[in-house]
Each structure stands twice: as structure tokens, then as C-alpha cells.
Amino acid sequence: MTEHLERTFVALKPDAVQRGITGQIIHRLERSGMRLAAIKMLTADDELLKKHYSEHVDKDFYKGLKEFMQEGPVIAMVWEGVNAVENVRKLVGETAPKEAMPGTIRGDFAHMSFKHADAKGKAVKNLIHASGELNEAMEEIALWFDEKEIEDYSRSDIYHVR
């Protein structure tokens, strides 16, 4: 890959799957010109979540986050594109759905605030996880996928996006 062509990790959380909006979210990522390189549906076990959220394991909210992430299946994906990490984060919107701008995935499909979630004693239902930086993306991809699960193929519109 060139210096600007990157891979990033995206997970559609159980609330996105349960609400039946996964296709709309995937469509938004695809129409941006990025290429879907890997996808699978799974129920995340304790070990996987402990590794994925390692910086949060000792925090008070981790138990609720783990329970939320195990309420149903997750759709894990690898996306490739020019500045993929940054561009996916722009499409996803702010972590707190209440603060996400209209036109972003969270801005259009979610509205819960951290204050509301805390008052209810549950995790913020924010639909999607996207890697925050390139090193994090590489670590998360390696955690959720074997390299042999990542496909390499050409899209017909590649001329326009690379």
C-alpha cells in the first residue's frame, strides 16, 4: 500500500445489527470510495473484548460496555482507502451520538448522550467503532482478523478514488 492508502478497522455494534441498519452503514462506507477488504459476523467473547478495550478494563464503565458488546453479534470489517482511518472517522461522527453532526452515521442514526447512559447505568449505544489512528487500526485488524481473511481485489471505480 502507498503511504496514504491505509487499512482501518470498523465494527458495527450489536445495536446497529439489532436495529437492521447495517446495510445502510456499509453502503455509506462503500460509496465513499473505500474498499471492503474483510467482513465477518461474530459474538465477541470476554477475551476478545478485554484485548480490544484493554485501556478501559479497569474503568467503572467497562462492565456495562462488555455487556452491551455481548448483547448480540458484531459485524467486524476491514476497509481500505486513501487516508482510510481519518476518512472513516469523519463518516462515523463524534463518539457521543448527541454531539455527532447530521450527515454522519452517528448523527443520522443515534442520539443518546453519555449523561443519559450514565443515568440509566448502561453503555452509550453509538452503533459503530472505528479505529482512531493508524497504529490502533493495525492492532485491531490483527486482533479481529487473520491476514488470510483479508481479500485483495480491484473495484471498477478504483481510477476515481486512488
Catalytic residues: 129
Cβ–Cβ under 8 Å, residues 128 and 25:
yes
Return the exposure string of 119-133: e unless at least 16 CB atoms fall within 10 Å of the residue's CB, then b: eeeebbbbbbbbbee
Per DSSP, the residues of 116-148 read HHHHHTS-----EEE-SSHHHHHHHHHHH--GG
